[in-house]
Amino acid sequence: MPEPYKRSRSLRRLQVKVPGGRISLHYRNRKPGKAECSNCSAVLKGVPRERSLKMHNMPKTKKRPQRPYGGNLCSRCMRSLIVGKARS
Ligand SMILES: [Zn+2]
């Protein structure tokens, strides 16, 4: 029987093939949900789904698209916001 904290589903289960050929269960922390656009809540592309330490060690350019409001707004919302700002 696994330890009590491994019996709950709060940890992700990975089937890892060990060198002996046997498949063993490994337990990892779950990844956070996908990043969403703050305006239309569409799933943002180019934003990795990683936990905070890995995100912290990642270069800034790999964390979000290189454009205004990258990582906060989807490209369509960013475009309409900028067009609206230019018109007003
Ligand atoms: Zn959007």
Q: Any idea which residue has 């589903």 for tokens?
A: 9
Coil, strand or helix: which one is 59? coil
Coil, strand or helix: which one is 61? helix
- Overall pTM surpassing 0.85 (yes/no): no
Expressed in angstroms and rounded, the spacing between residue 76 Cα and the centre of ligand 1 is: 6
Expressed in angstroms and rounded, the spacing between residue 47 Cα and the centre of ligand 1 is: 14
Over the chain (88 residues), the average pLDDT of each successive run of 10 is 93 96 96 96 96 95 95 96 93
Expressed in angstroms and rounded, the spacing between residue 17 Cα and the centre of ligand 1 is: 41
Is residue 54 a contact partner of residue 43, using CB atoms and an 8 Å limit?
no
Judging by DSSP bridges, how do beta strands 23-29 and 11-17 pair with one another? antiparallel
Q: pLDDT value at position 19?
A: 96
Expressed in angstroms and rounded, the spacing between residue 85 Cα and the centre of ligand 1 is: 16
Rounded to whole angstroms, the Cα distance separating 57 from 41 reads 26
Expressed in angstroms and rounded, the spacing between residue 88 Cα and the centre of ligand 1 is: 20
Q: pLDDT value at position 88?
A: 80
Provide the residue ranges of all domains of the chain, joining segments of one domain with +: 1-30, 35-88
Q: pLDDT value at position 75?
A: 96
Q: Per the structure block, which two tokens stand in for 21?
A: 């050929």
